[in-house]
Structure 1
């Protein structure tokens, strides 16, 4: 009489079933993210958008209620609209889905044995996705500030006196 000592079982367990559900959801999210990125790539560039850190500068000025040029205001408005889109959330949710798929797949592979540190490597993209979602929502909330932003002419910004310290 021989006993089968293999850890592999026939059929799927709960973790395997959940893994395939996560794979299906991941495929759907990846499709939506692909469509969203294609839409973003089709947008025409705004004046001043090619400068290094132009979006960050425009958003910083909006956040701190500093005077902005019309181009900076248009850049801030565009980036806020981009990050407010419900389809924009599919990109970080894809990262979240990859992490969930990895963890569930690792748990299915173990068949009830004690999980190791490797099993929870999938938590890293989950934290990344959470950070991305929080940053996107933080930027999207700045929509309320757009109507109250101070818009100045470009030449007024160039000729404005630079504050100096008397130290």
Structure 2
């Protein structure tokens, strides 16, 4: 059976979505089973810690441990399955619409390319993951304060 290029791409996109969806499931399951860092429960803690790393400010031991966890999570190859699965779903929508149009002989409309929105979004997510993952080098050079009595995040998080 010859489905043509759009049909073949639709089948390939569906298979890739299944494979990447499985990878996302495995990654999320691993994250849920892990004992999370206590700072992860504070609103805005990750943003504040990552901002400190970008500015090369000293971190407390808790902040350093939390930042190391964030960077390790972003460096996991399975983390990139999330934006890849989102991209594949958008791609599936676009090529599926083009396949149906090819069968009917119609012209593509704006609706055909709505799948481009999740595709663009997935590229942004992948870029954000890459930015956090690249902080590993900066994290190694950051001074760590052993005195946790001046924990700015706890005061900011409880306000």
Q: Does the pair score TM above 0.5?
A: yes
TM-align CA RMSD:
1.5
Matched residue, 1:66: 57
Match of 1:126 among 112, 119, 131: 119
Point out 4+ residue stretches in structure 1 off by more than 4 angstroms: none
- What's the secondary structure of 1:155's corresponding residue? coil
Count of matched residue pairs? 149
For structure 1, the residue ranges without an aligned partner over 5 or more in a row are 1-9, 159-167
Counterpart Cα distance in 2 of 1:51 and 1:156: 16
For structure 2, the residue ranges without an aligned partner over 5 or more in a row are 153-159
1:156 CA displacement: 4.5
Counterpart Cα distance in 2 of 1:88 and 1:103: 24
Q: Which has the higher helix share?
A: 2
TM-score by length of 2: 0.88
Counterpart Cα distance in 2 of 1:16 and 1:157: 57
1:12 CA displacement: 2.4
TM-score by length of 1: 0.84
Counterpart Cα distance in 2 of 1:125 and 1:37: 20
Matched residue, 1:5: none
Matched residue, 1:154: 148
Greater C-alpha Rg: 1
